[in-house]
């Protein structure tokens, strides 16, 4: 009788070692996916209860993406894999090779759009590109340089773009473009 218990415990031990040893847990991926889905559902409910509207949270490993749609059509998207909407105003010019990190539409008034981009290029290179990109179509109204960051304001008469460019020691250069229609 003792021998059958010993064999059972040894069998369970060997099976555990085979299944869970050396970082090869076949259930780990399913467990991680279940945890991600639970976290997504909790975050969605919490965000919806705070401000209403429709919320979609996607978590995949170490990255997370959040999409919120307000009751009046406002939209917010932010995270590691943000997709820029196809209906951005033509006046919003996306720096080549930059990664979208956030999009805010309709917040701050009808037609208002804010996008945040990230690049590894220098603040000076980004500022020069935008100066060249808007030259001719927009008048540059303001240039502010403070502690290695740049801000530019461009105006076409009907539209205004405010661009802020700054660095983050870990993540490179961030670009924030604020777009608004000018009401006369």
Domain co-membership, 114 together with 170: yes
Query: What is the predicted pLDDT for the residue at 91?
Result: 92
Domain co-membership, 84 together with 159: yes
Q: Which residues contact 104 (CB under 8 A, 6 or more apart)?
A: 74, 75, 76, 112, 113, 114, 115
Q: HEC profile for 83-128?
A: CCCCCCCCCCCCCCCCEEEEEEECCCCCCCEEEEEEECCCHHHHHH
Domain co-membership, 94 together with 183: yes
φ, ψ for residue 159, nearest 5 deg? -130, 150
The per-residue pLDDT for range 60-107, each reduced to its tens digit, is: 555 666 676 766 667 777 777 788 888 889 999 999 999 998 888 877
Percent of the chain at pLDDT exceeding 70: 59
From residue 106, alpha-carbon distances to 72, 74, 77, 90, 120 in Å are 9, 5, 12, 16, 29
Tell me the residue range of the domain where 14 lies: 1-57
Domain co-membership, 81 together with 169: yes
The per-residue pLDDT for range 27-62, each reduced to its tens digit, is: 444 444 444 445 445 444 554 444 555 555 555 555
Q: Which residue has the tokens 């670009």?
A: 175
β-strand partners of 181:
159
Domain co-membership, 76 together with 139: yes
Q: Which among 131, 179, 168 is positioned nearest to 152, based on CA atoms?
A: 131
In a domain, 41, yes or no: yes
Domain co-membership, 120 together with 82: yes
* H or E stretch at 49: helix 28-51
Query: What is the predicted pLDDT for the residue at 61?
Result: 54
Domain co-membership, 83 together with 21: no
pTM for this one? 0.66
Domain co-membership, 48 together with 94: no
Domain co-membership, 19 together with 96: no
Domain count across the chain: 2
Q: Which among 57, 151, 129, 65 is positioned nearest to 100, based on CA atoms?
A: 65
* CA dihedral (77, 58, 45, 55) positive or negative: positive
Domain co-membership, 45 together with 77: no
């Amino acid at each position: 009788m003792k021998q059958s218990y010993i064999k059972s415990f040894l069998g369970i031990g060997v099976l555990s070692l085979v299944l869970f040893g050396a970082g090869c847990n076949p259930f780990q991926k399913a467990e991680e996916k279940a945890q991600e889905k639970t976290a997504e559902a909790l975050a969605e409910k919490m965000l919806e209860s705070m401000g209403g509207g429709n919320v979609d949270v996607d978590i995949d490993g170490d990255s997370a993406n959040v999409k919120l749609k307000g009751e009046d059509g406002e939209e917010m998207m932010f995270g590691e894999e943000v997709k820029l909407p196809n209906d951005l105003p033509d006046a919003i010019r996306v720096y080549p090779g930059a990664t979208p990190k956030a999009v805010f539409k309709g917040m701050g008034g009808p037609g208002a759009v804010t996008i945040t981009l990230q690049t590894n290029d220098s603040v000076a290179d980004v500022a020069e590109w935008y100066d060249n990109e808007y030259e001719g179509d927009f008048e540059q109204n303001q240039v502010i340089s403070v502690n290695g960051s740049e801000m530019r304001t461009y105006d076409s008469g009907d539209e205004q773009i405010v661009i802020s460019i700054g660095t983050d020691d870990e993540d490179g250069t961030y670009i924030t473009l604020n777009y608004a229609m000018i009401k006369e």
